[in-house]
Amino acid sequence: MWEEVTDPEGNDLTATTADFTRAQVASWCASRTAQDERLDLAVVDTATGEYAGEAVLNEYDAERNSANFRIALRGPAWYGRGLGTEATRLLVEHGLRTVGLDFITLGVLARNPRARRAYATAGFRETSRFVEDGEDWVEMTIARSWLSPDYPVLTERLALRPLHPEKDVDTIHSWRSLPEVCRYTPFDPQSREAIAERLTDPERTRSVIDAEGQVISLVVERRDTGQPVGDVVLFWHSAADGHAEIGYELHPDHAGQGFATEAAEALLRLAFDGLRAHRVSARMDQRNTASAAVVGRLGMRLEATYVEGEWFKGEWSTLLVFGLLEHEWRGA
């Protein structure tokens, strides 16, 4: 830690001006286990067992159920190796999931773009700016349940955007009025009037998730023509369990081109990178072999089969549940 507190570059990028003696640093380290209002952890390079820096959760706010995050690496030799990014991810995960914090905030100098990019990669978003001691600072925040994508969400061939309550009535009706599309969906073919009424509910056109139990539905368009080809849905079932669910439907005219797989893969990115989901599931009727093929191509495995588990549209239906864990997705 002595190298850390005497590193000129590190001190400059954190606006640290205080000087410390070795005795003060030693005393501070010895007192960490006695602090019950904060969590100070050493960052250790598991490849070598060496101390690489420190990561901290402090300044707990009981009213907001939030804490401040801070990380400092040992020195330049430890920069650019991904250790800070990994330590940030681990401690943030611990704070949001295990401790149960609703928010974690941090302050970073506006002139430190490297750190800002790293925090953004970890899921932090800029929430405010302020000036302190003549320095421009950026406040960034991450929430336990928070997804606010930069729309449109782009893939190689597709663009995913929020539903418009008026302009997309005919768009959605073009496929939800078709019996072949609704064969395995919870609803029957819908009239234009029913869809128009449904889209007047703001929850049906939600574009962000800021609490568990919420859902976003997105229109899927071809990037080359702008033509809508279907829609997708992302459910955030549980922040504590980190459980999300995906769904998708496609106009038959655009089937067989891999659009459903491409759009569903974009939903997985939103779930794992945006919501920090631990597990994403997908449910479908056993007879819907095309949908099962989509999740299979994405690496989702069949986790459960509920034989005649639902009375569905006048007959017993066998339900399949597929799942994928975050570490499986990142390792794919």
Structural domains of the chain in order of their starting residue, each with its CATH number: 2-143 (3.40.630.30), 153-331 (3.40.630.30)
pTM for the whole structure:
0.69
Residue pair 311/317 in contact by the 8 Å Cβ criterion: yes
- According to the model, what pLDDT value does residue 1 have? 65
The β-bridge relationship of strands 315-325 and 279-285 is antiparallel
Residues 305, 321: Cα–Cα separation, whole Å: 6
Packing angle between helix 113-121 and helix 83-93, nearest 10 degrees?
50
* H or E, element range at 238: strand 228-238
Residue with tokens 């320095």: 135
Residue pair 171/250 in contact by the 8 Å Cβ criterion: no
Cα torsion 90, 108, 147, 262 to 10°: value is -80
Residue pair 122/88 in contact by the 8 Å Cβ criterion: yes
Rg, the chain, Cα only:
24
Three-state secondary-structure class, residue 122: coil
- DSSP state for residue 265 in the 8-state scheme: H
The β-bridge relationship of strands 279-285 and 243-250 is parallel
- CA-nearest of 279, 281, 288, 284 to 322 is 281
Residues 302, 291: Cα–Cα separation, whole Å: 12
- What token pair was written down for 214? 């919420």
Written as tens digits, the pLDDT of the chain (332 aa) is 667 777 777 777 677 777 778 788 788 778 777 777 899 999 999 999 999 999 999 999 999 899 999 998 888 888 888 888 899 989 998 998 889 898 999 999 999 998 998 888 887 888 899 999 899 999 999 987 778 888 999 999 999 999 999 999 999 999 999 999 999 999 999 999 999 999 999 999 999 998 889 999 999 999 999 999 999 999 999 877 889 999 999 999 999 999 999 999 999 999 998 888 999 999 999 999 999 999 999 999 999 999 999 999 999 999 999 999 999 998 86
> Exposed, middle or buried by CB within 10 Å (0-12, 13-18, 19+), for 62?
exposed
Q: Which amino acid is at 303?
A: E
Residues 200, 166: Cα–Cα separation, whole Å: 8
- Residue 103: Cβ within 10 Å count: 18
Three-state secondary-structure class, residue 176: helix
What residues does 142 pair with on adjacent strands? 104
- CA-nearest of 213, 181, 177 to 195 is 177
Phi-psi domain of 69 (left: phi exceeds 0; alpha: psi -120 through 50; beta: other)? beta
What is the distance, to the nearest Å, from the Cα of residue 101 to the centroid of all Cα atoms in its chain?
16
Q: In what side-by-side order are the strands of the sheet with 215-222?
A: 153-154, 158-162, 215-222, 228-238, 243-250, 279-285, 315-325, 301-312
